[in-house]
């Protein structure tokens, strides 16, 4: 989408299967529009007119709801953090974390969520679901098996190892609520979102939580543990 507007002729992007994570495409289209580039959505995909030129634009990069999600869930589990810099009108699909947490805060009722467009939220939403009053389901997430890890199995494995009750289906996770987690030792599986999610789960553990391979957070949030410490989280490297 960034390259095709600069070509001499018009282009078409034709989808041959259902488009997952569409909000990421919407963000891209929004940024290109800010720079004066127009791309039209069609019944089968996208039409991109050629011979376009990007124009200077003055603006700010939005705060990232995907990363803020960890701390928003921490608030729902008892922390008191002031999260700033987020655009309430953002096109980011992960903005849904605010709505989901707001509902949790009112009743801790279990939820049934389609995760197709919010795959990055699934690990931390699974942590949140562990503390609902009932069984929650996160569905349409089979493709998470092909992330940095088999993210469905790894999320369940980590939480079950420390006292969670998570069942893995073909394209869903079922999460039965518990009062507390035990703590213990888990592996980050070289998947940056797993140690970050488990670090929030640790706030609900009765005993310390050891996360092996936690340095993989560097992929998307290099100073995660520095931020965690700055918020009074206790982290010790071993």
**Which residues are known to be catalytic?**
120
Return the ∠ at Cα 100 (arms to 199 and 17), rounded to 5°. Answer: 95
For residue 19, give the nearest of 42, 37, 39 by alpha carbon.
Answer: 42
């Amino acid at each position: 989408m960034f390259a095709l507007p600069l070509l001499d002729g018009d282009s078409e992007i034709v989808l041959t299967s259902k488009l997952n994570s569409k909000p990421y495409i919407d963000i891209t289209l929004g940024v290109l529009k800010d720079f004066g580039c127009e791309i039209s959505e069609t019944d089968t995909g996208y039409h991109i007119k050629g011979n376009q030129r990007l124009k200077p634009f003055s603006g700010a990069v939005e705060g990232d709801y995907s990363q803020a999600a960890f701390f928003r869930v921490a608030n729902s589990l008892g922390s008191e953090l002031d999260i700033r810099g987020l655009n309430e009108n953002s096109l980011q699909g992960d903005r849904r974390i605010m709505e989901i947490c707001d509902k949790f805060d009112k009743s801790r009722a279990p939820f049934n969520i389609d995760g197709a467009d919010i795959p990055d939220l699934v690990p931390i939403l699974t942590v949140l679901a562990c503390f609902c009053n009932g069984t929650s389901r996160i569905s349409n997430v089979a493709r998470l098996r092909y992330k940095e890890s088999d993210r469905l199995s790894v999320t369940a494995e980590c939480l079950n190892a420390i006292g969670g009750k998570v069942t893995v289906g073909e394209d869903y996770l079922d999460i039965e609520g518990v009062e507390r987690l035990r703590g213990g030792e888990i592996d980050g599986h070289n998947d940056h979102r797993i140690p970050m999610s488990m670090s929030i789960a640790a706030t609900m553990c009765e005993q310390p939580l050891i996360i092996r391979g936690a340095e993989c957070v560097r992929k998307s949030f290099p100073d995660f543990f520095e931020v965690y410490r700055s918020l009074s989280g206790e982290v010790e490297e071993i």
